[in-house]
C-alpha cells in the first residue's frame, strides 16, 4: 500500500509531510530566535551547518548557541551537507556512516578562540592515518647566534600535566584536573621552534597538540556522571542480566561469612597500566615486554645547546627540595635526598632525555621504571625498554566503555579520572543478593571483554579501604577488605601509600621513626597534631587505622577554570607579553563558556626565572628553575566577560614590574564560580524553586503530590522581602515564632560562643512533639516559649529586607516540613539535586546549632523512608545521615543520636 493510500491528508503534505514540517518549523525557530543576525558576534561559521551526534563537550545546547552567535546553523535533524559533531561514536554508527565530515567539537571552540574558521580536517574524529599531527614551531633565539639541530629520528615529549610551580619541575602527566598546564609539546624535528611571542602560538598549540585533552578527561567524565544522573530515572534493567551471569559463575573462591552481608561497601576500580594496556591492544607482540608510553624514542642523544648548564640547574632544584624537607622535618643534615634528576646526564648523552614516561608496563616496573620518570633514567634501569606512542582516541573509547558499563548497574559513582572511579555498591549488592567476590569477577570479565584491557577492583567499608584494597588486587585482580581484616591489613601498610602523604610528610614521619601505619598507631592524636598540625594529624590518626569519614561525591561541582602554559614562554618586550595574556584570557573565556560558569576571583600565576638559574633551560623550551608568583583580584560581581578578564589580568601583570625576558610560565585561573546553566531539571523540589508563580495560600488539605507543592509553599520571589503574614486573633510577633526554637531568625541577633547546655548533640525530643510533627499537627502549644518584649512604635505592616538564601534555606521551618512530606508522598523517584537541597539545609542547621530541628528532620526522613520499603530511596537516607554526621563531627566532635526504625 502506498503512503498516500494508507494515510489521509494531514495538512502537512504541501511541505513534504509531518517530519518535513517539523524540521522546517525548527529551522524557522532557530533563524528567528537565537540565530537572528542581531545576536551575532562574528560570522566565523558563515555557510557552515552542524548536526550533533551523541554526548559532547560543549553540549549540544551550548554548540547550538555558539553557532548562532558566530554565524553558523544548527540542525536538530541531520542534513546531507552538515558537519557531524561527535566525541565518541558506537561501532554500529562508524560502520554505517561516512566519516569524512565527522569532526570533534573542539573544531568549534578552537575556531572561536582563533577568531577564524580553522581547517576541519585537523579535527576529524577518525582519520585514515593514525599519525599525530606535528607542531611546526619556529625557534627565536635571543642572540640569533646559533641554530638548533636535532636528530630527526628522535621525538621530544609532549607533556600535559599538573605542575606545582613551587617545585620548578614537572611531576608527571595529570590524569584529572580542571586546569591544563602545557609543557614541552611535540615539535617537528629539523624545524625551528616558535615561542609564545608568536601571535598564533596558543591557537596552533591547542589546535595541533591533542595530548592536552588527557588532562581534561577527568573533568570530562565527572561531567559525564553528572549528566547521566540528571537524565536517569534510576532504574537499571541491566541488573537482571548481571545477576544471571553471576549465578552462572562456578566460583572456586572460599568466601568469608562477611562476604555476603550488606554492610556499607565501596568499590574502587582502576584500569591496569591504562595507557599501555590500550596501546597494546593492536600490538600483541609487545605483551610481556617492558614497554613505556612516551613521545621520546630514547637512547638517541641530541646536539647540546649553547648556554645550557644542567649541573647548575639540577643543583638549584635539589637544594630547594632539601630546604623544604629540612624545614618540614627539623633535620638540617644527615639524610639522603633522592630526586628525579639524579641520574640525568647532559643532553648529548644517550641517558640525557628529559622526556617523561606517562605509563609503563609491569615488566618495566619490575626493573625500577616508574610513571613520571625521565626517559634517561629509565634507560639506565632498563636498557631494553620499548616505547609506544599515545593513542588518544583509544583512551577515550575505553574510558567511555568503562563508565557506560558501570552506569548501567548503578549511578552511585564518583569519577576520579578517565580510568578510575569509586562506586558505592551497597544498594546494588543488596538488590542482586550476591557476594562481593562473584560480583567483582563478573564485572571485571565484562570490562575486559568489552575493552580488551584488564582492570583491578578493591572493596572496603570506605573509600580509603577500597583504594588500598585495589593496590593489593593489582594487577588484574580483586580484593575485599572485610571488617575483620582491617586491623591486620592496615598494620603493614606503608605510610607513603596513604592518600595525601607526600614526600615532606613521609620524611617528617620517618624522622620520628615511623614508616608503617602500625607503627604510627602508637602515637596519640594530640601527639600527631603537635607534629603535623591539627588537620593533617587528625587525618593520619584515622587513616592509619583504616578510617575515612569522607563520603563519595556523586555530583561534582566545578570549582575553577584555568589555562596554564609553562612551555615556550620567551618574550623580548612587554608588548609580546601583553598580547599573549590577551590570547590566554580568550582561552580561559572559551572554557568558561564551555562550562557555563562565571567567576569572581581572577588569579594570575607566573613563573619567573630564578636569579641564579641559567637562561637556557635544561629541558628544551621548558620553564626551568623558577620563582612562582601568584597574585589575585576579586571582583564585586561574578563575570565571564572576556574584556574584564583581560583587563584585570594585564593590570595584575603590570603591577609585578617583571622583566618579560625572565618569564617562563603563565597561567590564569578563575575561581569562586557561579553557574549560568539554563538547563532545566526535573526534580520536584528543584522545580518548586524554579517557579516564580505566586499562588493562593492552601487550605487545610494535605498535599497528595508535588503537582500542588507550590500551593503548599509560597515565597515572594518578586522582592527580597519577607511577605507580611495575615493578622490572626491579634497574635503578637513573639507568639508567631518557630514552634520548636521559640525564636525568630529574622528578629533576634545570632548567638555567639558555645551552644547552650540545653542543646546537646545527643538530643532527646518529647515523644508528643515528634508524634505530632510526624502527623503534621502544630506543636507550638506544647512547647514552653520564652516571649521577647515587643518593641513599641513599630509599624504594623513592615517588610524587612533580607538577602534571600538558596534552596530550602529561604523557607520557614514549617514549610520545609510540609515540603518533605509532599516529597515522600509524591510517588516519584528521588532525584540527586533534590537530595542535595535537603543535605544543604540540614548542614546549615547543624552549623547554626539548630540541633533540635536536625534531630527531628533526620529521624522523620529515616522513619518515612523505612516505612516506604522502596530500594530507590535507600541511598537518600544513607546520604542524608552520612552528611549530617560529618557536619556534627566538624562542629561538635560528636555524632547525632539517630533512632532505629
3-state helix/strand/coil string of 750-802: CCCCCCCCCCCCCCCCCHHHHHHHHCCCCCHHHCCCCCCCCCCCCCCCCCCEC
In 560-596 the beta strands, taken as DSSP E runs, fall at 560-565
pLDDT in tens, 5-48: 443 444 434 334 444 555 566 666 666 666 566 677 888 998 89
Q: What is the pLDDT of residue 204?
A: 64
Q: What is the pLDDT of residue 261?
A: 63
Determine the distance from the C-alpha atom of residue 77 to the mean position of all C-alpha atoms in its chain, rounded to a whole number.
Answer: 32
Q: What is the pLDDT of residue 75?
A: 87
Q: What is the pLDDT of residue 656?
A: 94
Give the mean pLDDT of 872-887.
84
DSSP H or E segment with residue 478: strand 478-480
Q: What is the pLDDT of residue 807?
A: 62
Angle, alpha carbons 594-597-603 (nearest 5°): 105
> Which residues are marked as active site?
420
Q: What is the pLDDT of residue 274?
A: 94
pTM of the model: 0.58
pLDDT in tens, 483-508: 999 999 999 999 999 998 988 888 88
670 Cβ partners below 8 Å, 6+ apart? 560, 561, 562, 588, 592, 597, 599, 601, 602, 603, 645
Q: What is the pLDDT of residue 496?
A: 92
Q: Is the dihedral of CA 409, 415, 418, 422 positive or negative?
A: negative
Q: What is the pLDDT of residue 27?
A: 65
Contact of 422 with 267, CB cutoff 8 Å: yes
pLDDT confidence of 472, banded at 50, 70, 90?
very high
pLDDT in tens, 798-832: 444 445 455 666 677 677 877 888 788 776 778 77
The answer to whether residue 696 scores a pLDDT higher than 60 is no
* Range of lowest pLDDT (418-422, 619-623, 691-695): 691-695
d(CA 882, CA 874): 12
279 Cβ partners below 8 Å, 6+ apart? 291, 293, 388, 389, 390, 391, 394
The answer to whether residue 246 scores a pLDDT higher than 50 is yes
- How far from 356 is each of 173, 177, 353, 371, 396, CA to CA, in Å? 8, 19, 8, 8, 21
Q: What is the pLDDT of residue 890?
A: 78
Q: Show contacts of 117-122: CB within 8 Å, 24+ apart.
A: 117/44, 117/45, 117/48, 118/207, 120/83, 122/207, 122/208
7 Cβ partners below 8 Å, 6+ apart? none
Q: Which residue has the cell 616505547?
A: 387
Residue 332: phi and psi, rounded to 5, are: -90, -20
Q: Which residues are annotated as a binding site for Mg(2+)?
A: 270, 419-420
Q: What is the pLDDT of residue 400?
A: 94
pLDDT confidence of 901, banded at 50, 70, 90?
low
- How far from 362 is each of 174, 391, 499, CA to CA, in Å? 20, 19, 22
Domains, the chain, ordered by start: 11-192 (no CATH), 195-289+384-493+544-556 (3.30.70.270), 290-383 (3.40.1170.60), 560-678 (3.30.1490.100)
User: DSSP letters of 835-885?
Assistant: HHHHHHHHHHHHHTT-HHHHHHHHHHHHHHHHHHT-HHHHHHHHHHHHHHH
pLDDT confidence of 456, banded at 50, 70, 90?
very high
Q: What is the pLDDT of residue 511?
A: 82
Give percent of the chain with pLDDT exceeding 70: 68
DSSP H or E segment with residue 225: helix 214-231
Task: Output the average pLDDT for the chain.
Answer: 74
Q: Which residues are annotated as a binding site?
A: 270, 419-420
Give the mean pLDDT of 453-479.
96
The answer to whether residue 644 scores a pLDDT higher than 70 is yes
The SS3 assignment for 600 reads strand
* Range of lowest pLDDT (66-75, 620-629, 651-660, 885-894): 885-894
* Range of lowest pLDDT (52-56, 258-262, 358-362): 258-262
The answer to whether residue 281 scores a pLDDT higher than 70 is yes
Q: Is the dihedral of CA 74, 79, 82, 87 positive or negative?
A: positive
Residue 755: phi and psi, rounded to 5, are: -65, 155
Give the mean pLDDT of 502-522.
88
End-to-end CA distance of the chain: 64
The answer to whether residue 629 scores a pLDDT higher than 50 is yes
Contact of 201 with 182, CB cutoff 8 Å: no
Amino acid at each position: 500500500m502506498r503512503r498516500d493510500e494508507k494515510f489521509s491528508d494531514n495538512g502537512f503534505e504541501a511541505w513534504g509531510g509531518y517530519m518535513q514540517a517539523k524540521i522546517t518549523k525548527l529551522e524557522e525557530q532557530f533563524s528567528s530566535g537565537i540565530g537572528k543576525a542581531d545576536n551575532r558576534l562574528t560570522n566565523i561559521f558563515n555557510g557552515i551547518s552542524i548536526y550533533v551526534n551523541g554526548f559532547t563537550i560543549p553540549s549540544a545546547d551550548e554548540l547550538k548557541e555558539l553557532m548562532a552567535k558566530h554565524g553558523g546553523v544548527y540542525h536538530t535533524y541531520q542534513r546531507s551537507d552538515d558537519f557531524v559533531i561527535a566525541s565518541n561514536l558506537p561501532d554500529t554508527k562508524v560502520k554505517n556512516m561516512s566519516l569524512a565530515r565527522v569532526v570533534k567539537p573542539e573544531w568549534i571552540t578552537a575556531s572561536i578562540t582563533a577568531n577564524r574558521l580553522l581547517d576541519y580536517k585537523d579535527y576529524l574524529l577518525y582519520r585514515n592515518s593514525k599519525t599525530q599531527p606535528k607542531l611546526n614551531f619556529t625557534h627565536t633565539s635571543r642572540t640569533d647566534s646559533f641554530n638548533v639541530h636535532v636528530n630527526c629520528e628522535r621525538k621530544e615529549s609532549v607533556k600535559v600535566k599538573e605542575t606545582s610551580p613551587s617545585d620548578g619541575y614537572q611531576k608527571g602527566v595529570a590524569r584529572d584536573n580542571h586546569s591544563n598546564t602545557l609543557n614541552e609539546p611535540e615539535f617537528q624535528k629539523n624545524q625551528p621552534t616558535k615561542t609564545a611571542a608568536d601571535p598564533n602560538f596558543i591557537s596552533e598549540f591547542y589546535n595541533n597538540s591533542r595530548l592536552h585533552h588527557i588532562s581534561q578527561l577527568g573533568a570530562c567524565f565527572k561531567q559525564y556522571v553528572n549528566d547521566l544522573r540528571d537524565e536517569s530515572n534510576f532504574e537499571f534493567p541491566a541488573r537482571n542480566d548481571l545477576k544471571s551471569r553471576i549465578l552462572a559463575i562456578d566460583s572456586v573462591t572460599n568466601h568469608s561469612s562477611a562476604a555476603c552481608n550488606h554492610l556499607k561497601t565501596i568499590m574502587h576500580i582502576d584500569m591496569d597500566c591504562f595507557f599501555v594496556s590500550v596501546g597494546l591492544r593492536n600490538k600483541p607482540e609487545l605483551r610481556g615486554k617492558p614497554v613505556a608510553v612516551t613521545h621520546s624514542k630514547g637512547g638517541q642523544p641530541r646536539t647540546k645547546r649553547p648556554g645550557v648548564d644542567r649541573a647548575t640547574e639540577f643543583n638549584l632544584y635539589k637544594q630547594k627540595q632539601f630546604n623544604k624537607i629540612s624545614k618540614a622535618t627539623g633535620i638540617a643534615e644527615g639524610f639522603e635526598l633522592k630526586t628525579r634528576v639524579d641520574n640525568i646526564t647532559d643532553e648529548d648523552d644517550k641517558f640525557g632525555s628529559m622526556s617523561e614516561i606517562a605509563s609503563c608496563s609491569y615488566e618495566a616496573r619490575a626493573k625500577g621504571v616508574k610513571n613520571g620518570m625521565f626517559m634517561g633514567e629509565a634507560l639506565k634501569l632498563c636498557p631494553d625498554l620499548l616505547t609506544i606512542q599515545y593513542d588518544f582516541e583509544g583512551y577515550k573509547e575505553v574510558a567511555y566503555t568503562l563508565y557506560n558499563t558501570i552506569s548501567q548497574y548503578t549511578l552511585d559513582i564518583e569519577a576520579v579520572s578517565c580510568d578510575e572511579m569509586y562506586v558505592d555498591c551497597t544498594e546494588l549488592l543488596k538488590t542482586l543478593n550476591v557476594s562481593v567476590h562473584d560480583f567483582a569477577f563478573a564485572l571485571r570479565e565484562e570490562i575486559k571483554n568489552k575493552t580488551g584491557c584488564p582492570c583491578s577492583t578493591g572493596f572496603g567499608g570506605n573509600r580509603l579501604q577500597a583504594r588500598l584494597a585495589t593496590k593489593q588486587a593489582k594487577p588484574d585482580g580483586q580484593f575485599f577488605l572485610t571488617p575483620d581484616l582491617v586491623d591486620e591489613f592496615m598494620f603493614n601498610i606503608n605510610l607513603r601509600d596513604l592518600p595525601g602523604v607526600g614526600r615532606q610528610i613521609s620524611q617528617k614521619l620517618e624522622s620520628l621513626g615511623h614508616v608503617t601505619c602500625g607503627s604510627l598507631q602508637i602515637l596519640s592524636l594530640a601527639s600527631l597534631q603537635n607534629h603535623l598540625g591539627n588537620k593533617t594529624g587528625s587525618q593520619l590518626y584515622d587513616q592509619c587505622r583504616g578510617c575515612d569519614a569522607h563520603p563519595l561525591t556523586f555530583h561534582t561541582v566545578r570549582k575553577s577554570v584555568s589555562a596554564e602554559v609553562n612551555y615556550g614562554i620567551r618574550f623580548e618586550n612587554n608588548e609580546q607579553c601583553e598580547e599573549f595574556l590577551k590570547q590566554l584570557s580568550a582561552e580561559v573565556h572559551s572554557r568558561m563558556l564551555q562550562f557555563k560558569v562565571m567567576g569572581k576571583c581572577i588569579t594570575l600565576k607566573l613563573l619567573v626565572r630564578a636569579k641564579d638559574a641559567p637562561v637556557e633551560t635544561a629541558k628544551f623550551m621548558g620553564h626551568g628553575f623558577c620563582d612562582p608568583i601568584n597574585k589575585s583580584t576579586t571582583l564585586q560581581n561574578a563575570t565571564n566577560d572576556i574584556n574584564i578578564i583581560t583587563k584585570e589580568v594585564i593590570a595584575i601583570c603590570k603591577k609585578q614590574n617583571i622583566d618579560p625576558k625572565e618569564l617562563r610560565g603563565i597561567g590564569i585561573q578563575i575561581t569562586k564560580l557561579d553557574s549560568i546553566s539554563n538547563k532545566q531539571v526535573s526534580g520536584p523540589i528543584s522545580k518548586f524553586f524554579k517557579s516564580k508563580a505566586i499562588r493562593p495560600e492552601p487550605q487545610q488539605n494535605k498535599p497528595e503530590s508535588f503537582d500542588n507543592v507550590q500551593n503548599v509553599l509560597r515565597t515572594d520571589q518578586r522582592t527580597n522581602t519577607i511577605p507580611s503574614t495575615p493578622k490572626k486573633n491579634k497574635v503578637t510577633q513573639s507568639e508567631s515564632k518557630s514552634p520548636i526554637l521559640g525564636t525568630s531568625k529574622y528578629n533576634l541577633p545570632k548567638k555567639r560562643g558555645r551552644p547552650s547546655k540545653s542543646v546537646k548533640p545527643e538530643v532527646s525530643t518529647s515523644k508528643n512533639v515528634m508524634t505530632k510533627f510526624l502527623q503534621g499537627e502544630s506543636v507550638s502549644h506544647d512547647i514552653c516559649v520564652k516571649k521577647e518584649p515587643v518593641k513599641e512604635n513599630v509599624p504594623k505592616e513592615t517588610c524587612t529586607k533580607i538577602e534571600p538564601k538558596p534552596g530550602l534555606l529561604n523557607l520557614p521551618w514549617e514549610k520545609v516540613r510540609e515540603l518533605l512530606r509532599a516529597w515522600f508522598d509524591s510517588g516519584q523517584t528521588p532525584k540527586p539535586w533534590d537530595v542535595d537541597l535537603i543535605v544543604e539545609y540540614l548542614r546549615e542547621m547543624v552549623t547554626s546549632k539548630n540541633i533540635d530541628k536536625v534531630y527531628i528532620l533526620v529521624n522523620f526522613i529515616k522513619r518515612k523512608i523505612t516505612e516506604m520499603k522502596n530500594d530507590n530511596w535507600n541511598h537518600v537516607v544513607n546520604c542524608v545521615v552520612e552528611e549530617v554526621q560529618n557536619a556534627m563531627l566538624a562542629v561538635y566532635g560528636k555524632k547525632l543520636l539517630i533512632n532505629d526504625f
